[in-house]
Amino acid sequence: MLKKILIILSIFLLSSSAWAQDKIVLGCSAAMSGHAGLMGQNLVPGMQAYFNHINSQGGINGKKIELVVLDDRYEPDKTVSNTRKFINEIKPLALIGYIGMPTTVRILDTIRKEHLPLIGPVTGAHQLHLPFNRYVFNIRNSYWAEAEVQVDYTINDLKKDKIAVFYQNDGFGISGYKGVKRALALKYNKSIVAEAVYQRDKLADDDAIKRICQSKPEVIIMVGTYDALADFVKRVRARGLTPVFICNSFTRATPLARLLDKLGNNVIFTQVAPPPTTWSGVDLPAIRLYRKLMRAYFPDKRFTCIGMEGFIIAEVIVEGLRRCGNNLTSENLVKVLETFRDYNPNINANLTYTPHSREGLDLVYLTEIKNSKPNFLIKIVRKSISMYIF
């Protein structure tokens, strides 16, 4: 399946003049393989399905959208080299859907210097929000907004306050960890009972498991990738503990549920895209269209939140391209996106950008695993990063 996706999407390295004549080129560096590969393998079809839909209707002013995907394996150095390849050889109008904080932050200075917009990075790290970068357009909510929803739900709904945090030891994990600590301290005057880390691309060591378990937490908030967190949950439960586990949106619910199988009960997620599974309890126009187009173009792919996120990213950029008219340049796309006011990508949430704001959508969806299936909706919360003082 991975080979098929890469053949379809990592196509054609033609000359820049050939692209410019009759196509709108968009570039995406994403994890299509490696331990985070399932993220790209679901995100990219979500984007491509909507682009195929638009292309089938004649494209944008007669120009078809061409998505070029380069695999970075969730490795920052590879993300940098892919971005240089986009800039020097492929010359896309914009970059879209870059996956992950440690990868994406490495190219922020480059896109600013090159005046090349990045639309819909798949990370909620605060480094993508502040300091302000004119060429970054966030669509998803922030990890700090997710963290506050997680803490609020734990204390107000679950009536528990013994919270431990297990996180990936890099900028991504630290961003989520800081969000939890901050929400607990500022809103509830509380502290976490324990913390432990693991290294990216590895699993937790025994000391990390022991440190968390000794505190006997009621809830463990986890910030990491699905493979490492699945291993962590299994090892904590093997020690006889039965806490509630809460993950943020970067932890993909579908592969985690599959890896945990019957151990998935009491695992909760915050999501930043509406869960599109047929059993989720959420029914929106964008979800119905996503399912229809995925069945048409990628019938062997599951409906996933990250696929839905890719679909929303594609909707936003298509709207921006349409508003550009015949002036399809990177700089004009930036100026046009800055005029978005309460744009609704058919999900009952509005997107607003200004010349000084790139904050994106303000909804967080709490979901849970039931009977080994992910993304049963618990509740929807409106939470904005604008509430924070950095």
Angle between helices 206-214 and 226-238 (to 10 degrees): 60
State the Cα–Cα distance between residues 196 and 68, nearest whole angstrom. Answer: 38
DSSP 120-179: --B---GGGTSS--TTEE--SPPHHHHHHHHHHIIIIIS----EEEEEESSHHHHHHHHH
Asked if the model's pLDDT at residue 6 lies above 80, the reply is no
Q: By C-alpha distance, which of 319, 299, 278, 275 is closest to 51? A: 319
Angle between helices 253-260 and 37-56 (to 10 degrees): 140
DSSP label at 339?
A: T
Q: What is the pLDDT of residues 21-40, one digit of tens each?
A: 689 999 999 999 998 898 99
94 φ, ψ (degrees, to nearest 5): -155, 160
DSSP label at 303?
A: P
**What's residue 21's pLDDT?**
61
CATH topology agreement for domains 2-141+281-359 and 143-271+365-387: yes
Whole-prediction pTM value? Answer: 0.89
**What's residue 19's pLDDT?**
42
Asked if the model's pLDDT at residue 309 lies above 60, the reply is yes
Q: Which residues pair with 160 in a beta bridge?
A: none
Asked if the model's pLDDT at residue 188 lies above 60, the reply is yes
239 φ, ψ (degrees, to nearest 5): -90, 5
Q: What distances in angstroms separate CA 183 from CA 144, 159, 171, 190, one per listed residue?
A: 8, 16, 18, 9
Average pLDDT value for residue range 351-366: 92
DSSP 199-224: -TTS---HHHHHHHHHT--SEEEEES
Q: What is the pLDDT of residues 78-116, one digit of tens each?
A: 999 999 999 999 999 999 999 999 999 999 999 999 999
**What's residue 18's pLDDT?**
35
Contact indicator for 8, 73 with CB cutoff of 8 Å: no
Q: What is the pLDDT of residues 148-183, one digit of tens each?
A: 999 999 999 999 999 999 999 998 999 999 999 999
Residues 6+ apart with CB under 8 A from 294: 45, 46, 49, 301, 303, 307
User: Any idea where the domains of the chain sit in the sequence?
Assistant: 2-141+281-359, 143-271+365-387
Q: How would residue 385 be classed by pLDDT, with cut points 50, 70 and 90?
A: low
Average pLDDT value for residue range 213-239: 96
Residue 363 structure tokens = 């909804």
Asked if the model's pLDDT at residue 4 lies above 50, the reply is no
Tell me which CATH code domain 143-271+365-387 carries. 3.40.50.2300
Helix H or strand E encompassing 380: strand 373-382
**What's residue 375's pLDDT?**
86
Question: Rounded to the nearest 10 degrees, how much is the dihedral formed by the CA atoms of 229, 234, 239, 244?
Answer: 60
The CATH number of domain 2-141+281-359 is 3.40.50.2300: yes
Outline where the chain has alpha helix (H).
2-9, 16-22, 37-56, 76-85, 101-104, 108-114, 143-152, 171-188, 206-214, 226-238, 253-260, 285-297, 305-324, 330-337
Provide the phi-psi class of 59: left if phi over 0, else alpha when psi is between -120 and 50, else beta.
left
Provide the phi-psi class of 123: left if phi over 0, else alpha when psi is between -120 and 50, else beta.
beta
What is the pLDDT of the chain when averaged over all its residues? 91
State the Cα–Cα distance between residues 137 and 216, nearest whole angstrom. Answer: 41
Average pLDDT value for residue range 323-332: 96
Q: By C-alpha distance, which of 266, 287, 270 is closest to 379? A: 270
- For residue 334, which amino acid is it? V
Vertex 345, ends 344 and 347: CA angle to 5°?
A: 85
